[in-house]
Amino acid sequence: MSEKQPKKKKTAGDVVLTVVLIAAICVFCYAGYNLFHIYTEYKKGTDEYNSITQMAVTERDPDGEAAGPEAGSELKAPMDIDFASLKSVNNDVVGWIYVEAVPDINYPIVHGKDNETYLHRTYEKNYNFAGTIFVDYENKGDFSDCNTIVYGHNMKNGSMFAQLKKFTQDEETYKKSKYFWIFTPEKNYRYEIISAYTTGVNSDTYTLFKGPGEEFEKYLEKIRGYSEIRTDAEGMNIKDKIITLSTCTGNEATRYVVQGKRVDTLDVGQ
């Protein structure tokens, strides 16, 4: 008859190893949960905006439209926006933005009562970190100010304003196209990019003006000088209407900025 093997006593090292293993499993599970939560949040936001785009945007056939003044033809807007449908979902809508060089920037723009409401609320007002593209609440909602500031998140999945940074990091993006569009219920506006750079959160880039004048003229000179890329913009003056597109960099102290001046105004449907 064989003798029973004596039970091994657990040493302090065994206990520590077990605790470390359990802790590692807990951390792994927690990290996995967070990643799943982030993924589902991103997907919800992306799915919502894809649905809104399908509802409200009719893209025009570029082969069936005039290519614009550069080709000696009449300029045509690249898409039509159904603002009646957009307003039926959210009456705060004031426009739609489309950036030619990075066409994934293709979203509705809202104008809220403050700059907090749409930070983490989607167009349908669901809570989501993606938020909504929005105009600074101190601006008019019709893009008629000297400098209209438009904010959007820099999402890690490349959505919202994440791709604005491409203009500051690679001149090839600007060379693809130097234009972006703001569509409104009344008019369609085309803007030419005049400057792209990284700036501080308290930069004078975010200056708002009561109207054109000497202060605005000096501002125009400054922002051209801030650009980290060479642009072709010429003939800037105090009658220009500027759009400042702004997004975060991952550093709380800085922002990516792309600025454009209005160069064309088209009637809706034109």
Q: Which residues are catalytic?
A: 153, 248
CA dist 182 and 192 (Å) reads 11
How many whole angstroms separate alpha carbon 94 and alpha carbon 92?
Answer: 6
Q: How far is the C-alpha of 238 from the C-alpha of 257, rounded, in Å?
A: 20
Write out the two tokens for 116: 């907090």
CA angle 89, 94, 95 (to 5 degrees): 100
CA distances from 229 to 9, 11, 17, 75, 224 (A): 69, 64, 55, 26, 10
Q: How many Å is the Cα radius of gyration of the chain?
A: 25
Contacts for 54-62: CB closer than 8 Å, 24+ residues apart: 55/82, 55/85, 55/86, 56/81, 56/82, 56/83, 56/85, 56/86, 56/96, 56/108, 57/81, 57/82, 57/96, 57/106, 58/82
Q: Find all residues with CB under 8 Å of 70, minimum gap 6, and list them.
A: none
